[in-house]
Amino acid sequence: GLFTEQIGKMVKSVPLVLKQWNKISPLICFLADDANCTMKQIQRMLRRYPQLLQYSIENKLKPKMLFLCTELDIDNSSDDFAKIIASFPTILWLTEPTIMAKIDFLRSELRLDTNNYELEEIVLAMPSILGLSLKNNLKPKFEFFTQSVGMTRWELKEFVLYQPALLAYSLENRIKPRVAHMETKGISFKYCPPYLMSLTDDKFASWCDTQTSTWSIIET
């Protein structure tokens, strides 16, 4: 359970919840006791997403927690589950079909293992992947990497497992421009370090400049 003093501090840090005091205490207890969230995580969630108070614990939040734990094979009492919902609270009110569509897509396209370890690894590192649009986001990226870049699914899987954030970067504003820049220098993206898309623009440009003489990443 939680001490009254802790709840008082929570209310002071998120003034908007005063209007829904009858909901705040049960919600905090649920997130802390059932989902193993810390007070710091709960404060951050309510500050950024006060709409959490709109959802029924018994009819919405608890069933969603059980669903996620089952599909991702994660214990709700673990720090991992708390990390997922604290990083991406929206996952608690996305519909199950919406979430399953992303899970099934990742499992199929990346040929993820059947014991859910790889899926859990991806979602833990980048929970917001489950909130991305299949039609407008994930599918176009997969098509670009496999068709335009020429990566095999195994190669793409290795990149994503190393850095799941690869799937969260903008296709038009970051991924395509950087791949195009590398191509002008004769550099093949699929032979590059998986972290390349995470570099700042300056560091990315510097990296490209220093690699143009490295035979292992130059296309022939």
CA–CA distance, 31 with 170 (Å, rounded to integer): 32
Backbone angles phi, psi at 4, to 5 degrees: -55, -35
In tens, the pLDDT along 26-74 reads 998 999 999 999 999 998 898 888 888 889 999 999 999 999 999 999 9
In the prediction, which pLDDT does 217 show?
47
In the prediction, which pLDDT does 2 show?
47
- Top-level CATH class of 95-220? mainly alpha
Structure tokens that stand for 22 in this block: 């009858």
Q: Which of 53, 134, 75, 125 is nearest to 99 (CA)?
A: 134
What is the domain partition of the chain in residue ranges?
A: 1-93, 95-220
At residue 5's C-alpha, the angle toward residues 37 and 34, to 5°, is 25
pLDDT at 24 over 90: no
In the prediction, which pLDDT does 218 show?
47
Residue by residue, DSSP assigns 128-197 as GGGGS-IIIIIHHHHHIIIIIS---HHHHHHHHHH-GGGGTS-IIIIIHHHHHHHHHTTB-GGGS-GGGG
pTM reported for the whole predicted model = 0.83
Q: Are 104 and 92 a contacting pair, CB within 8 Å?
A: no
Amino acid at the residue 219: E
pLDDT at 157 over 50: yes
In the prediction, which pLDDT does 213 show?
58
In tens, the pLDDT along 182-200 reads 999 889 999 999 999 999 9
| Rounded percentage of the chain residues whose pLDDT exceeds 70 | 86
CA–CA distance, 25 with 10 (Å, rounded to integer): 10
In tens, the pLDDT along 92-106 reads 999 999 999 999 999
